[in-house]
Amino acid sequence: MNARNRIALQFLVPSLLFIVVFSLYPIIESFRLSFYRLILTLPWLGQKFVGWENYSDLLTDPVALKSLLTTLLFVGVTAPLEVMLGLGMALVLNESFRGRGLLRAAALIPWAIPTVVSSQMWRFIFNDRYGLFNYFLFGDKTQHYLAPLADPQLALLSIMAADVWKTSAFAALIILAGLQTIPDELYEAAGIDGATTWQKFRRITLPLVKPAILLALLFRTIDALRVFDLVFVMTQGGPADATNVLQFYGYKKSFAEGMIGYGSTISVMVFFLSLLFALLYVRLLGARTLEKAKGR
Protein backbone atom coordinates (compact mmCIF):
# COMPACT_ATOMS: atom_id res chain seq x y z
CA MET A 1 0.00 0.00 0.00
CA ASN A 2 1.51 3.30 -1.08
CA ALA A 3 1.49 6.51 0.92
CA ARG A 4 -1.49 8.00 -0.93
CA ASN A 5 -3.66 4.96 -0.21
CA ARG A 6 -2.65 4.99 3.45
CA ILE A 7 -3.63 8.65 3.77
CA ALA A 8 -6.96 7.94 2.06
CA LEU A 9 -7.61 5.04 4.43
CA GLN A 10 -6.85 7.22 7.45
CA PHE A 11 -9.49 9.69 6.30
CA LEU A 12 -12.01 6.91 5.69
CA VAL A 13 -11.54 5.05 9.00
CA PRO A 14 -13.43 7.61 11.20
CA SER A 15 -16.41 7.55 8.82
CA LEU A 16 -16.40 3.75 8.66
CA LEU A 17 -16.25 3.53 12.45
CA PHE A 18 -19.14 5.97 12.72
CA ILE A 19 -21.22 3.85 10.30
CA VAL A 20 -20.37 0.62 12.14
CA VAL A 21 -21.17 2.00 15.61
CA PHE A 22 -24.28 4.04 14.85
CA SER A 23 -25.77 2.20 11.85
CA LEU A 24 -24.52 -1.35 11.37
CA TYR A 25 -24.40 -2.38 15.05
CA PRO A 26 -28.00 -1.27 15.86
CA ILE A 27 -29.28 -3.17 12.81
CA ILE A 28 -27.45 -6.35 13.80
CA GLU A 29 -28.53 -6.01 17.44
CA SER A 30 -32.18 -5.47 16.45
CA PHE A 31 -32.03 -8.56 14.26
CA ARG A 32 -30.53 -10.57 17.16
CA LEU A 33 -33.10 -9.35 19.69
CA SER A 34 -35.93 -10.26 17.33
CA PHE A 35 -35.20 -13.95 18.09
CA TYR A 36 -35.64 -13.46 21.84
CA ARG A 37 -38.50 -12.78 24.20
CA LEU A 38 -37.25 -9.90 26.34
CA ILE A 39 -39.56 -7.87 28.58
CA LEU A 40 -38.16 -4.51 29.62
CA THR A 41 -40.22 -4.31 32.82
CA LEU A 42 -39.24 -7.84 33.90
CA PRO A 43 -35.45 -7.88 33.45
CA TRP A 44 -34.98 -10.76 35.91
CA LEU A 45 -36.62 -13.13 33.41
CA GLY A 46 -33.63 -12.64 31.13
CA GLN A 47 -33.58 -13.29 27.39
CA LYS A 48 -35.47 -16.38 26.26
CA PHE A 49 -34.61 -17.62 22.77
CA VAL A 50 -37.84 -18.13 20.80
CA GLY A 51 -36.48 -18.42 17.26
CA TRP A 52 -38.94 -17.29 14.60
CA GLU A 53 -41.85 -17.08 17.04
CA ASN A 54 -41.85 -13.27 17.09
CA TYR A 55 -42.05 -13.22 13.30
CA SER A 56 -44.94 -15.70 13.21
CA ASP A 57 -46.73 -13.63 15.86
CA LEU A 58 -46.16 -10.52 13.77
CA LEU A 59 -47.77 -12.11 10.71
CA THR A 60 -50.88 -12.92 12.74
CA ASP A 61 -51.03 -9.66 14.70
CA PRO A 62 -54.06 -7.71 13.35
CA VAL A 63 -52.73 -4.40 14.71
CA ALA A 64 -49.35 -4.96 13.03
CA LEU A 65 -51.00 -5.87 9.71
CA LYS A 66 -53.19 -2.76 9.92
CA SER A 67 -50.12 -0.70 10.75
CA LEU A 68 -48.38 -2.14 7.69
CA LEU A 69 -51.29 -1.13 5.45
CA THR A 70 -51.35 2.33 7.04
CA THR A 71 -47.61 2.70 6.45
CA LEU A 72 -47.87 1.61 2.80
CA LEU A 73 -50.80 3.98 2.28
CA PHE A 74 -48.83 6.81 3.83
CA VAL A 75 -45.85 6.05 1.58
CA GLY A 76 -47.99 5.58 -1.53
CA VAL A 77 -49.65 8.96 -1.12
CA THR A 78 -46.94 11.21 0.31
CA ALA A 79 -43.85 10.13 -1.62
CA PRO A 80 -45.28 10.57 -5.19
CA LEU A 81 -47.11 13.75 -4.17
CA GLU A 82 -43.97 15.27 -2.67
CA VAL A 83 -41.94 14.40 -5.77
CA MET A 84 -44.57 15.91 -8.09
CA LEU A 85 -44.75 19.10 -6.02
CA GLY A 86 -40.96 19.10 -5.78
CA LEU A 87 -40.72 18.88 -9.57
CA GLY A 88 -43.02 21.87 -9.94
CA MET A 89 -41.03 23.85 -7.38
CA ALA A 90 -37.74 22.90 -9.02
CA LEU A 91 -38.96 24.02 -12.45
CA VAL A 92 -39.88 27.42 -11.02
CA LEU A 93 -36.66 27.80 -9.03
CA ASN A 94 -34.60 26.83 -12.10
CA GLU A 95 -35.85 29.84 -14.05
CA SER A 96 -33.92 33.12 -14.11
CA PHE A 97 -35.76 35.97 -12.38
CA ARG A 98 -35.10 38.68 -9.87
CA GLY A 99 -35.05 37.41 -6.29
CA ARG A 100 -34.50 33.77 -7.28
CA GLY A 101 -31.86 33.25 -4.59
CA LEU A 102 -34.18 34.57 -1.87
CA LEU A 103 -37.02 32.36 -3.10
CA ARG A 104 -34.75 29.30 -3.12
CA ALA A 105 -33.77 29.97 0.47
CA ALA A 106 -37.39 30.53 1.52
CA ALA A 107 -38.52 27.31 -0.17
CA LEU A 108 -36.15 25.30 2.04
CA ILE A 109 -37.49 26.71 5.32
CA PRO A 110 -40.15 23.99 5.85
CA TRP A 111 -37.55 21.26 5.35
CA ALA A 112 -35.04 23.03 7.62
CA ILE A 113 -37.51 23.24 10.52
CA PRO A 114 -37.08 20.28 12.93
CA THR A 115 -39.84 17.71 12.45
CA VAL A 116 -40.94 17.90 16.08
CA VAL A 117 -41.41 21.67 15.78
CA SER A 118 -43.35 21.46 12.50
CA SER A 119 -45.46 18.61 13.93
CA GLN A 120 -46.44 20.74 16.90
CA MET A 121 -47.26 23.62 14.56
CA TRP A 122 -49.56 21.42 12.47
CA ARG A 123 -51.13 20.07 15.65
CA PHE A 124 -52.11 23.65 16.50
CA ILE A 125 -53.34 24.27 12.95
CA PHE A 126 -55.68 21.24 13.11
CA ASN A 127 -56.91 22.05 16.63
CA ASP A 128 -60.70 21.71 16.88
CA ARG A 129 -61.18 24.93 18.85
CA TYR A 130 -58.70 27.55 17.64
CA GLY A 131 -56.88 25.98 14.68
CA LEU A 132 -56.34 27.89 11.44
CA PHE A 133 -57.69 24.92 9.46
CA ASN A 134 -61.18 25.36 10.90
CA TYR A 135 -60.96 29.15 10.81
CA PHE A 136 -60.23 29.18 7.08
CA LEU A 137 -63.07 26.74 6.41
CA PHE A 138 -65.79 28.08 8.73
CA GLY A 139 -64.62 31.43 10.03
CA ASP A 140 -66.34 32.25 13.35
CA LYS A 141 -68.97 29.51 12.98
CA THR A 142 -67.44 27.41 15.74
CA GLN A 143 -70.41 25.02 15.79
CA HIS A 144 -69.17 23.61 12.48
CA TYR A 145 -65.55 23.15 13.55
CA LEU A 146 -63.99 19.77 12.83
CA ALA A 147 -61.50 17.75 14.88
CA PRO A 148 -59.26 16.27 12.17
CA LEU A 149 -56.77 14.69 14.57
CA ALA A 150 -59.58 12.96 16.49
CA ASP A 151 -61.39 11.69 13.38
CA PRO A 152 -60.22 8.26 12.10
CA GLN A 153 -61.04 9.33 8.54
CA LEU A 154 -59.16 12.65 8.70
CA ALA A 155 -56.26 11.98 11.07
CA LEU A 156 -54.07 10.17 8.54
CA LEU A 157 -54.82 12.80 5.88
CA SER A 158 -53.78 15.50 8.35
CA ILE A 159 -50.44 13.80 8.98
CA MET A 160 -49.95 13.36 5.24
CA ALA A 161 -50.56 17.08 4.71
CA ALA A 162 -47.98 17.97 7.36
CA ASP A 163 -45.42 15.61 5.81
CA VAL A 164 -46.00 16.90 2.28
CA TRP A 165 -45.64 20.51 3.44
CA LYS A 166 -42.36 19.78 5.18
CA THR A 167 -40.49 17.53 2.75
CA SER A 168 -41.59 18.61 -0.74
CA ALA A 169 -38.75 21.14 -0.59
CA PHE A 170 -36.24 18.31 -0.11
CA ALA A 171 -37.48 16.60 -3.28
CA ALA A 172 -37.31 19.96 -5.06
CA LEU A 173 -33.67 20.39 -4.00
CA ILE A 174 -32.67 17.03 -5.50
CA ILE A 175 -34.61 17.61 -8.73
CA LEU A 176 -33.24 21.15 -9.02
CA ALA A 177 -29.72 19.71 -8.92
CA GLY A 178 -30.70 17.43 -11.82
CA LEU A 179 -32.15 20.35 -13.80
CA GLN A 180 -28.91 22.29 -13.39
CA THR A 181 -27.06 19.59 -15.37
CA ILE A 182 -29.20 20.00 -18.52
CA PRO A 183 -27.33 22.12 -21.10
CA ASP A 184 -29.10 25.29 -22.26
CA GLU A 185 -28.03 24.49 -25.82
CA LEU A 186 -30.62 21.72 -26.00
CA TYR A 187 -33.44 24.17 -25.29
CA GLU A 188 -32.01 26.70 -27.73
CA ALA A 189 -31.83 24.09 -30.49
CA ALA A 190 -35.37 22.94 -29.73
CA GLY A 191 -36.58 26.54 -29.85
CA ILE A 192 -34.99 27.05 -33.27
CA ASP A 193 -36.81 23.92 -34.47
CA GLY A 194 -40.10 25.42 -33.31
CA ALA A 195 -40.69 23.29 -30.20
CA THR A 196 -43.28 24.55 -27.74
CA THR A 197 -42.71 24.83 -23.98
CA TRP A 198 -44.62 21.59 -23.39
CA GLN A 199 -42.60 19.78 -26.07
CA LYS A 200 -39.35 20.98 -24.51
CA PHE A 201 -40.50 19.71 -21.12
CA ARG A 202 -41.67 16.37 -22.47
CA ARG A 203 -38.80 15.65 -24.85
CA ILE A 204 -35.86 17.26 -23.05
CA THR A 205 -36.49 18.10 -19.40
CA LEU A 206 -38.44 15.04 -18.27
CA PRO A 207 -36.18 12.35 -19.84
CA LEU A 208 -32.97 13.99 -18.61
CA VAL A 209 -34.24 14.67 -15.09
CA LYS A 210 -35.71 11.19 -14.55
CA PRO A 211 -32.67 9.92 -12.58
CA ALA A 212 -33.02 12.85 -10.16
CA ILE A 213 -36.77 12.20 -9.84
CA LEU A 214 -36.16 8.53 -9.05
CA LEU A 215 -33.48 9.49 -6.53
CA ALA A 216 -35.86 11.92 -4.82
CA LEU A 217 -38.54 9.23 -4.82
CA LEU A 218 -36.10 6.75 -3.27
CA PHE A 219 -35.14 9.09 -0.42
CA ARG A 220 -38.72 10.12 0.26
CA THR A 221 -39.97 6.53 0.21
CA ILE A 222 -37.37 5.37 2.73
CA ASP A 223 -38.06 8.41 4.91
CA ALA A 224 -41.83 7.86 4.77
CA LEU A 225 -41.45 4.18 5.71
CA ARG A 226 -39.81 5.14 8.99
CA VAL A 227 -42.04 8.12 9.84
CA PHE A 228 -42.27 8.53 13.59
CA ASP A 229 -42.02 12.16 14.75
CA LEU A 230 -45.22 13.32 13.07
CA VAL A 231 -47.28 10.48 14.52
CA PHE A 232 -45.72 10.75 17.97
CA VAL A 233 -46.42 14.47 18.31
CA MET A 234 -49.72 14.82 16.45
CA THR A 235 -51.79 11.71 17.21
CA GLN A 236 -49.86 9.10 19.23
CA GLY A 237 -51.06 6.53 16.70
CA GLY A 238 -54.75 7.29 17.24
CA PRO A 239 -57.60 7.66 16.98
CA ALA A 240 -58.47 3.94 16.96
CA ASP A 241 -55.02 3.12 15.51
CA ALA A 242 -55.87 5.10 12.35
CA THR A 243 -52.35 6.60 12.23
CA ASN A 244 -50.52 3.72 13.89
CA VAL A 245 -47.66 3.27 11.39
CA LEU A 246 -45.19 0.39 11.79
CA GLN A 247 -42.36 2.47 13.21
CA PHE A 248 -44.59 3.93 15.92
CA TYR A 249 -46.16 0.55 16.67
CA GLY A 250 -42.68 -0.88 17.18
CA TYR A 251 -41.89 1.96 19.57
CA LYS A 252 -45.06 1.29 21.59
CA LYS A 253 -44.33 -2.42 21.80
CA SER A 254 -40.73 -1.82 22.82
CA PHE A 255 -41.04 0.99 25.36
CA ALA A 256 -44.71 1.40 26.30
CA GLU A 257 -45.35 -2.33 26.73
CA GLY A 258 -41.72 -3.34 27.32
CA MET A 259 -41.67 -6.10 24.65
CA ILE A 260 -38.19 -5.41 23.31
CA GLY A 261 -37.95 -8.62 21.27
CA TYR A 262 -41.27 -8.09 19.50
CA GLY A 263 -40.52 -4.40 18.94
CA SER A 264 -37.17 -5.37 17.40
CA THR A 265 -39.03 -7.71 15.05
CA ILE A 266 -41.14 -4.79 13.83
CA SER A 267 -37.99 -2.69 13.34
CA VAL A 268 -36.45 -5.49 11.28
CA MET A 269 -39.57 -5.56 9.09
CA VAL A 270 -39.30 -1.79 8.52
CA PHE A 271 -35.62 -2.23 7.64
CA PHE A 272 -36.32 -4.95 5.07
CA LEU A 273 -39.18 -2.95 3.57
CA SER A 274 -36.81 0.02 3.16
CA LEU A 275 -34.17 -2.28 1.67
CA LEU A 276 -36.70 -3.73 -0.78
CA PHE A 277 -37.77 -0.31 -2.02
CA ALA A 278 -34.14 0.85 -2.19
CA LEU A 279 -33.15 -2.14 -4.35
CA LEU A 280 -36.15 -1.55 -6.60
CA TYR A 281 -35.31 2.12 -7.17
CA VAL A 282 -31.60 1.40 -7.60
CA ARG A 283 -32.47 -1.16 -10.26
CA LEU A 284 -34.66 1.40 -12.02
CA LEU A 285 -31.85 3.96 -11.82
CA GLY A 286 -29.38 1.40 -13.17
CA ALA A 287 -31.70 0.49 -16.04
CA ARG A 288 -32.12 4.19 -16.84
CA THR A 289 -28.36 4.74 -16.84
CA LEU A 290 -27.79 1.72 -19.07
CA GLU A 291 -30.49 2.91 -21.48
CA LYS A 292 -28.85 6.34 -21.60
CA ALA A 293 -25.44 4.78 -22.29
CA LYS A 294 -26.84 2.70 -25.14
CA GLY A 295 -28.48 5.80 -26.58
CA ARG A 296 -25.07 7.45 -26.83
Q: Per-residue DSSP letters for 204-271?
A: IIHHHHHHHHHHHHHHHHHHHHT--HHHHHHTTT-STTTT--HHHHHHIIIIIS-BHHHHHHHHHHHH
pLDDT at 40 over 90: no
The least confident of 1-10, 18-27, 270-279 is 1-10
Per-residue pLDDT at 92: 92
Q: Sorting pLDDT into bands at 50, 70 and 90, what band is 23?
A: confident
Per-residue pLDDT at 295: 53
Q: Could you give the CA distance from residue 223 to residue 83 in angstroms, rounded to a whole number?
A: 13
**Segment 118-163, tens digit of pLDDT:** 999 999 999 988 899 999 999 888 888 999 999 998 999 999 999 9
pLDDT at 43 over 80: no
Q: Give the pLDDT mean for 236-257.
A: 90
β partners of residue 39? 259
Per-residue pLDDT at 221: 93
**Segment 213-232, tens digit of pLDDT:** 999 999 999 999 989 999 99
The least confident of 96-105, 181-190, 277-286 is 277-286
pLDDT at 282 over 90: no
Q: Whole-structure pTM over 0.85, yes or no?
A: yes
